[in-house]
Amino acid sequence: MDVVHARCAALDVSKTDAKVCVRVARPGGGAEERVTTWGAMTRQIMELREHLIAQQVTRVVMEATGDYWKPFYYLLEDAGFELVLANAAQVKAMPGRKSDVSDARWLADLAAHGLVRASLVPPPPIRELRDLTRARSALTRDRGREIKRLEKLLEDAGIKISSVASKTLTVSTREMIEALIAGQRDPQVLAQMAKTRLRAKIPQLQEALIGRFNDHHAFLAQMFLDMIDEFDRAIDQLEERIEVMVEPFRGFLDLITTIPGISTTVAEVVLAETGGDLSVFPTPEQFCSWAGVAPGKNQSAGRTKPARARPGDRHLKGAMGIAAMAVARSNNTYLAARYRRIATRRGPMRALVATQRAMLTAMWHMAHTGEVYHELGPDHFVRQRPAYIKDRAIRQLETLGYGVTLTDLPQAS
């Protein structure tokens, strides 16, 4: 196999150090490999940087191991050589005797022959935005956990607010819980705190607010409410910072939010995970595969076996899952009709993945053409095969014992 990079290096990164293999091809064939160990502190990485420059290395490859690759990548990315972050699953060596040194040598051999595909590493502004959106998602999940703990505490006290109200923590229920903490135990007084549509359920609330709420529950409930408030403040701060960071990419956000189900929050996650430049993906199929919504494939000896969807960017996939569930519950959209059509045959989970794939495919085309989303309508599949739909409806009615006579309706002027 031809050598593409005569002087290259490979890093097998861990938390405390990195095994570095510098591979130099000999003119007559073969190669000279030298493996050294470098620490993971900033000063030691900078010394490694000078060492690689002195060795006249043209390409450096490292594995994406947790978050440990980041200090090495960020300090080496402007050193003048090509820096490649490899997916560990794609450069895994054959089973056998394994060590960090052998991993570095194997990675260097792959790099020399051009067999390593680079992972997507966005520029610094997008990396900062990605940190913000991921932190917002994590804090939102933590806030949800605190609400669940509060709900369990109320259940322990016999307070069944969540059985009557749509959520455990609304404006009305928050006021009731704070009154319970303050010492109010009369269910009739508490139920009168209901607002708007919840006032129609005052009799049910009076029954739900009869319990054994005591000082112990009040202490824990106040602690949970304080933690929820802290999460709210932190999330608000992140929202403000994200709003500033996404301003240079406002055109991309405005474009993809024309897709049904893509909210501003989901669009910000898409921007943070992809960088807003979908030209790095040659085809929409590759974009969907990278996102983890492409169907798996397991074929052997001419037989196709069941396979799960490919793994991908879990943050992007999670956001698109929220968008797909939102559009599946909507009406009068092509995506909702597509979801129901697939869910009938393959089930709701496969239909959700297929909906995510359709949304990402549309997003890829929109990013390349600059055109806003074109709604095909909920009757798109009917218009595709009107004769078939008509014949099927007739057959179904005849099966039920009805005679069918068709009459053309006058066309609307």
45: number of Cβ within 10 Å: 18
Q: pLDDT of 41-86, one tens digit each?
A: 999 999 999 999 999 999 999 987 788 999 999 999 999 999 999 9
Strand order in the sheet with 17-25: 31-39, 17-25, 7-13, 59-63, 82-86
Question: Among residues of the chain, what percentage have pLDDT more than 70?
Answer: 98
Q: pLDDT of 289-328, one tens digit each?
A: 999 998 777 888 888 887 777 788 999 999 999 999 999 9
Question: How far, in whole angstroms, is CA 106 from its chain's centroid?
Answer: 32
DSSP assigned state of 351: H
- Whole-number Å distance between alpha carbons of 208 and 161: 6
Question: 314-328 and 264-274 are packed helices; what angle lies between their axes, rounded to 10 degrees?
Answer: 150
* pLDDT surpassing 70 at residue 94: no
Q: If you classify domain 7-112 with CATH, what class do you get?
A: alpha beta
Query: Do 9 and 57 meet the contact criterion of CB atoms below 8 Å apart?
Result: yes
CA distances from 238 to 13, 130, 134 (A): 31, 12, 10
pTM of the model: 0.87
DSSP code per residue over 181-238:
HHT---HHHHHTT--GGGGGGHHHHHHHT-S---HHHHHHHHHHHHHHHHHHHHHHHH
Q: Which range, of 123-137, 243-257, 304-318, 344-358, averages the lowest pLDDT? A: 304-318
Beta strand pairing call for 82-86 and 59-63: parallel
